[in-house]
Amino acid sequence: MEISTLTAYHCLAFVWYFFITYAITHVRTEERPSEVFLYGGQWKYLTVLNLVLQAVFYGVSFLADVLRLIKKLRCAKCVISSRDLLFSVLAFPVSTFVSISFWILYTCNRELVYPKSLDGVIPLWLNHAMHTAVLPFALLEILATPHRYPAKKKGLILLGFVAFLYISWVLWIYSVTGEWVYPLFALFSPAGLTAFFTGSLAIIISFYNFGEFLNRMIWGQSKFCF
């Protein structure tokens, strides 16, 4: 993709994710169901955190493109390294996990992840923007431009650390409120919940590897060390 076209695409993607993030964080407070949006607000949901992540990623990508356009190549190189790290370790695996896991659980029993009471608060288009569109955006990004992946060990350590932070946030909310972020978690014993979190981490790691595989198949081997 030409750099000018890539710049326009990243700019539009950034604006889109910024708009979606704004929309979900400004839902009508007087109509919020009593069982959601309490302690932690929207920031306890992985879906919303992923929207912020995508907005940051596309903002960094747009900045990298602009720097390349104006020939600030030394600055662009540093920003591109940050862009690639964000995409490879977080943006692709998290967006893929959010989309696929949400729709599988929604199909099985929507009340476990997205109670029907939310239909009156979050319009259908916003639901699909948060849970459906994130996957084709991630795949299109791989097709649009190559991304350099870090050394596997370092990439997985960073991904695992971020996953640990989110799990800690979920457990902290439960310790304070006595309520789980997702009703699904209430079905498990402590051992079962540990197994669920471990399995989820294994799945998101598989998405990391899948993204690396696609990038290598399309663009060839391209790695950087840090």
Identity of the amino acid at 146: P
- Supply 153's token pair: 């060990």
The 10s digit of each residue's pLDDT in 77-99 is: 889 999 999 999 999 999 999 99
- Supply 103's token pair: 């729709």
CB distance 146 to 219 below 8 Å: yes
The 10s digit of each residue's pLDDT in 117-130 is: 888 888 999 999 99
Q: How confident is the model at residue 223 (pLDDT cuts 50, 70, 90)?
A: very low
- For the chain, give the longest Cα–Cα distance: 57
Q: How confident is the model at residue 225 (pLDDT cuts 50, 70, 90)?
A: very low
**Quick one: pLDDT at residue 36?**
54
The domain ranges of the chain are 3-28+38-219
Q: What distance in Å separates the CA atoms of residue 82 and residue 102, rounded to the nearest whole number?
A: 28
Can you give the C-alpha Rg of the chain in angstroms?
18
Neighbouring-strand partners of residue 149: 223
Q: What distance in Å separates the CA atoms of residue 181 and residue 175, rounded to the nearest whole number?
A: 11
**Quick one: pLDDT at residue 226?**
35
Residue reference for tokens 């326009």:
8
Q: What distance in Å separates the CA atoms of residue 174 and residue 140, rounded to the nearest whole number?
A: 37
The sign of the dihedral angle between the CA atoms of 26, 30, 36, 37 is positive
**Quick one: pLDDT at residue 224?**
43
**Quick one: pLDDT at residue 126?**
95
Q: What burial class does residue 165 get, using C-beta atoms within 10 Å of its C-beta: 0-12 exposed, 13-18 middle, 19+ buried?
A: exposed
- On the question of pLDDT at 28 being above 90, the answer is no
- On the question of pLDDT at 7 being above 90, the answer is yes
Q: Who wins on pLDDT, 12 or 223?
A: 12
